A and B are shown apart, each in its own frame.
Chain A
Amino acid sequence: MAENRDFMNRRLHSLLGVIPIGIFLIQHLTVNFFATRGAEAFNAAAHFMESLPYRIFLEIFIIFLPILFHAVYGLYIVFQGKSNTTRFGFFRNWMFLAQRITGVYLLVFIAWHVWQTRVQAAFGADVNYDMMAEILSSPFMLVFYIIGVLSATFHFSNGLWSFLVSWGITVTPRSQRLATYATAVVFVALSVIGMSALLAFINPDLANM
């Protein structure tokens, strides 16, 4: 297998992006969505996730290590490419570029987000509705988070499309085109879920519920 290291790494990168990272993204956005039902509902959902058994192992093997590998190897992939959308302005070429731009943005965003929430929790802070409401009360942070969530939903949806190609599931142009439509729907749906949650954290009516 050693002679195929690049091949295996690249396939692993593609797989990890969907399982478990993509699944985790959907789960994370779903828990966030509880904020649209008020502070109490969100805190209860967040508390449920917090109190899962052997949580540290779930975090390490389902979240931290996969994301770390995906991020580091992804950066290596970014540096291998030379964008040429000015010369070849085709739709997929723009998607290729957007996948790399959102990937790099997410590297910064997720690092900061983990520092602001999970690392602070390790230092004894309470991760709850009030914490997010306070973070998002800054207009700069709100924009930073909005772009972050949209980058994540785009990167996942477009990555799902290329996952289907990279593993040889969608081969014909027709199946690839249908996958484009399907993943566009995924992008819109996840973006609506993510944006609703973000806006719920800055809604004073929901804070008191």
Chain B
Amino acid sequence: MSEDKQVRFIITRQDSPDSEPYTEEFNLSYRSNMNVISALMEIRRNPVNAEGQETSPVVWDMNCLEEVCGACSMIINGKPQQSCTALVDHFEQPIKLEPMRTFPVVRDLIVDRSRMFDSLKKVKAWIPIDGTYDLGPGPRMAENKRQWAYELSKCMTCGVCLEACPNVNDNSDFMGPAPVSLVRLYNAHPTGEMNKPERLEALMGEGGIESCGNSQNCVEVCPKGIPLTTSIAALNRDTSLQAFKNFFGSDRA
């Protein structure tokens, strides 16, 4: 084998949800175009750390491998992002991998993002069309509006915006930017709009939109470039109007 170029990884590991985290270092042979996931696969194939000791393989979450599912999000050199599209060539070494601690750590780099999915249920981030009979075709959506809404629909619930938000933590029940932006998506849909007040009410409830402190980190870190702060401000306007409607008692239509 020719002179081997090495890649060094420092990985924050944790054996169980309650145990203490620790770091472990790994040296891998460089291959061109390798990314963080392929490096983790290499460690899994041959779990030997930098000191040459056999260790347990590092575990992580992944699914689509094309930055669409959001499952493989982790903190790479201090920045939360998807490990599948994190090319080793783009990072300074050593490459540090950590779990997104805003969420409960399950093991090593795997976190439990359930709180995001619970929030989606809370704000009714869907369009209810199920019924006991065929409801027929819904109203049409203008093409330019569809194109605009498509940008919002790119949210993959990856959790990067929650990780970057200073108001999402143990002291606060803020649901974070992603569910707020999805309310805007579903409220914009001609059929989804029929349930707009319900979603706004949910956003005005506990842990809702009011906990946003306008640090605007979310829009800077979103891997999909979703205009999260525009969504938050737009829903601030919608919830303001909803609050006036509720209080002064005009009809809810």
Contacts and interface: CB of A to CB of B under 8 A. Distances in A.
B208 interface: yes
Contacts of B166: 81-84, 93, 96-97
A172 B212 CA distance: 17
B237 A88 contact: no
Interface in A7-56: 7-11
A179 to B, nearest CB: 11
B234 A82 contact: no
B36 to A, nearest CB: 18
B211 A88 contact: no
Interface stretch (B19-27, B57-65, B128-136, B215-223): B215-223
Contacts of A167: 236-237, 240
Secondary structure of the A contact surface, majority rule: helix
B206 interface: yes
A168 B236 contact: yes
B206 to A, nearest CB: 6
B205 interface: yes
Given A11-B243, A165-B236, A84 B164 contact: yes
A168 B243 contact: no
Interface residues of A, number: 36
Contact of B217 (A4, A10, A88, A162): A88
A176 B237 CA distance: 14
A205 interface: no
Contacts of A6: 205-206, 208, 210-211
A3 B167 CA distance: 21
A82 B234 CA distance: 25
Interface in A111-134: none
Interface stretch (B9-17, B118-126, B225-233): B225-233
Given A88-B217, A171-B233, 17 more contacts: A4-B201, A7-B205, A10-B210, A11-B210, A80-B211, A81-B167, A82-B169, A88-B164, A88-B221, A92-B217, A93-B215, A95-B215, A96-B213, A162-B214, A166-B214, A166-B236, A168-B233
Nearest 4 pairs between A and B by C-beta? A168-B237, A96-B215, A10-B210, A168-B236
Interface of B: 78-79, 164, 166-167, 169, 171-172, 174, 201, 204-206, 208-217, 220-221, 227, 229-230, 232-241, 243, 246-247
Interface of A: 1, 3-4, 6-11, 77, 79-84, 87-88, 90, 92-93, 95-97, 161-162, 165-173, 176
